[in-house]
Amino acid sequence: QLQASGGGLVQTGGSLRLSCAASGRTSLIYVVGWFRQAPGKERAFVALVTWNGGSTFYADSVKGRFTISRDNANNTVYLQMNSLKPEDTALYYCASARTVGHMRREYDYWGQGTLVTVSS
């Protein structure tokens, strides 16, 4: 089970940190990813981190502004979002997968979304 939190309203240029807490059979998790879905758009990949090795991968649209990290001791993955832009406004979801990938279909378990709104 995944629980996402940390969304909110922020001004352009501001920062937010999202959290994704994992519970249950965390030994089956290989990758945790963040996706986002803006109104009227498809759910899109944002970033991923491998659970054990800590390797990361980012969508071009967030590279250099967002940082994904994990805290294995607390079974939590974070998404630090800096220099936020209005186009970052979306419902953000975390999800787990058993393989490295950026396609929605590759992820097995999804948390509920947390809303991020960036005002201009």
Q: Residue holding tokens 């996706």?
A: 35
Q: Read off the pLDDT band of 54 (50, 70, 90).
A: confident
What's the pLDDT score for residue 105? 94
pLDDT in tens, 55-82: 999 999 999 999 999 998 899 999 999 9
What's the pLDDT score for residue 26? 78
Q: Residue holding tokens 């999804």?
A: 110
Residue 33 corresponds to which amino acid?
G
Residue 49 · residue 31 · CB < 8 Å: yes
DSSP result, the chain = -EEEE--EEEETT--EEEEEEE-S-GGG--EEEEEEE-TTS--EEEEEEETTT--EEE-TTTTTTEEEEEEGGGTEEEEEE-S--GGG-EEEEEEEESS---SGGGEEEEPPPEEEEEE-
pLDDT in tens, 12-50: 999 999 999 998 887 778 999 999 999 999 999 999 999
Q: What are phi and psi of 72, to 5 degrees?
A: -65, -35
